[in-house]
Chains A and B, each alone.
Chain A
Amino acid sequence: MARAIFALLLKELLAVLKDKKSRFVLIGPPLIQLFIFGYAATFDLGRIPIAVYDADRSVPSRDLVARFAGSPSFRLVAALKSARRIPELIDSRQAAAALLIDPRFSRDLLQGRRGPIELTVDGRNSNTALLTLGYANEVIADFERDWGKSRGDPPPAAEIVPRAWYNPNLISRLFFVPGLVATLTQVVVLLVVGLSVARERETGTFDQLLVTPLGQLDILIGKGLPGLLIGGFEASLIIIAAVGWFDVPLRGGLFPLYLGLVLFALAVTGIGLMISSLAATQQQALLGAFLFMVPSITLSGFATPIANMPPTVQYLTLLNPLRYFLVVVRGVFLEGAGLGALWQQYWPMALIGLLTLSAAGWLFRRRIY
């Protein structure tokens, strides 16, 4: 029997890997995507285009402008002669923010009142706008501190000393690249197994497979293992690239990481096979794969935190294997988490895998038309 399963496994692997185009599609794009997305997926803003109108033209106002221009977060795109062009620059997105320094700025500042400025931000992207405001506040706070010190003011009553654990410089790449290990693995596994049964159904060879001496479990293993093998191989490549190329620290051990990977790949394989055996045509299988993949990525905590979602949606995410694997990957990479800390993530994935794989095996026989 083992030989028969092996033969089926071999045939499945050949079906996916023998065609040059298909082989390339499976191996190439995930790696290319890792490199592109590894750089693109970031919430770290740099070089925010800002327009400045300095109506005061004094020493302190020039100092403030120079601080904005010199900050790595901002890029001065226009030094305006009047406030009239501000709407036009922001409307057309040439500037994401505009700083207007009131003509009374230096006078008020020297007389001990608060110097007025006006900061306009493009709110079309609310996250960018919030971060822009944060960076602007930092620049302004620096100015205030140095200006107060040069005037001989007493030190401020209190100041904040921030410290970030696990990622001291708050580089969001360290958050997203481990996340890509999980999402790209999911895409690959789903592509390999998601269409495999549907393709045989459409061409009629699945009925032939059912009348061979292979049992349900054997078919399940033969159809499921290729996803696990190819997914595991791909994930290893991505992990190597994450450490070797993107300098993401791998603080934990490989065993907790790979245990999570195997459980996750099993769960996704089960879901893929289930979709595949429910579908009568490849188009239906593809639709099913999408209906699973898109929500599973958006509701996983990959880009937006689960804690920000409404409670009902948060319960929904408990069904999503990606949610658990993301915690495992990020935990092992950045926090050095071990088996004990991650146990809470392992068993739900194992449970999802068990349920979906048995459902898929059951569907092989029940759904024939």
Chain B
Amino acid sequence: MRREALRRLLGLLRKEFLQIGRDSSALAIAFLLPSILLLLFGYGVSLDAKAVPIALVAEHPDPIAASFMGKFAHSPYFRPQRFLTLESAQKAFAAGRVEGIVLLRSDFGRKVFRGGARIGVIVNGVDANTARLVEGYVQNVAANWLEARARSEGLPSPSLIRADVRVWFNPALASRNYLVPGLMAINMTLTGALLTALVVAREWERGTMEALMATPVRMREILFTKLFPYYVLGMGGMAVSWAMAVWLFGVPFKGSLFVLFATTSLFLLATLVMGLLISSIARNQFLAAQIAIVVTFLPAFILSGFIFDLGSMPAAIRLITYLFAARYFVAILQTIFLAGDIWSVILPNAAALLAMSVLLLAAARFLARKRLD
């Protein structure tokens, strides 16, 4: 009997692998999609604003104003353009040719000596994040200029506090180093759920599920053979992503490959079963595809901590993020890559993934009974 079961299992597995091999789109989802996404993100997406076009206006162009504005030319963050009047600068600003305006009133040179000079900064608030970064960069340029001026004139430093700033794990603050590991989690969500969402639905839609039910194959064997080949594909996709992250993008990998392998397996299990679950609820490919898109990609993008900070979300939304496996995996990946095997992050998140897989598996097992309706 056991040998019989093993033969059945191997036969089903062979069929699944053949089916994957014949339809190149499954292979494309597993390997091509992650590679393209990583390339796009690795090269294309960055939150680091550099060479921001900015308008400089000095109402009274004296040497002091010139020295202040000269600082902008040396900053890698700005591409300054001089304007003679505020009106012309505002016109360029409204047309979107510059992202901000720095304005020195005519009394700037005089007031700097007495104290209380004001530097006007206008930014475009539509993109609030960039606006805030630009404001911060201008602050830095101004602070450096004041510091240098005070030193050259033998005055006491204008700042009262000497802040020694250390940024751990990513000293250069390169956004690529945190976006790429997070993206790997999104990739795996996509491939995992998409691949399996269609497989069971396809059997129902084509009527082969009923044929399968008439055979002595057990339901848990069907589930296993639907999961295993796609697990192999998903791990392959992960290996490709890892190699690209480390060798192509130079993201530091501080943790161990074993921990990466183990946590990826847990995460893949959870997402693959999620796909199966969608598949057995929908029972047709069209619907399964719709649900898979709606419950995988966008939540993984927005609710996982991949780009948007989880701690800043309202409490109710933060509760919802616990429902998505991507959240745990993003935390694990960012830590393994940039900080190393830090168990206080990895263990709780891995435990959550495990619990999620077990629950989803039980639900899938319950839904996928041999039953016609």
Contact = CB atoms under 8 A, between A and B. Distances in A.
A286 B289 contact: yes
A114 B23 contact: no
Interface size class of A (residues with CB under 8 A): 35 or more
Contacts, number: 342
B37 interface: yes
B312 A159 contact: no
Contacts of B28: 287
B314 A122 contact: no
B147 to A, nearest CB: 10
Nearest to A163: B122
B115 interface: yes
Contacts of B302: 36-37, 40-41
B119 A158 contact: yes
A14 interface: no
Interface in B310-333: 311-314, 316-317, 320-321, 331
Chain B facing A: main interface SS: helix
Given A26-B290, A114-B157, A128-B309, A335 B126 contact: yes
B66 interface: no
A133 B202 CA distance: 52
A42 B173 CA distance: 20
Nearest to A127: B47
A201 to B, nearest CB: 12
Contacts of A304: 45-47, 307
B160 A147 contact: yes
Given A127-B175, A157-B149, A283-B202, A303 B285 contact: no
A17 B304 CA distance: 31
B372 interface: no
A294 B297 contact: yes
A117 B26 CA distance: 55
Contact of A158 (B132, B146, B198): B146
B158 A37 contact: no
Contacts of A170: 125, 128, 131-132
A281 B14 CA distance: 22
Interface stretch (A44-52, A231-239, A265-273): A44-52
A162 B100 CA distance: 10
B212 interface: no
A310 B119 contact: no
A33 interface: yes
Interface string B10-29: 00000000000001011011
B40 A120 contact: no
Contacts of B131: 164, 167, 170
Contacts of B47: 126-127, 304, 308
A33 to B, nearest CB: 6
Interface string B334-356: 11001100101100000000000
Interface in A296-310: 297-299, 303-305, 307-310
Q: Which 6 A-B pairs have the closest CB atoms?
A: A167-B125, A123-B170, A164-B125, A92-B344, A114-B162, A155-B115
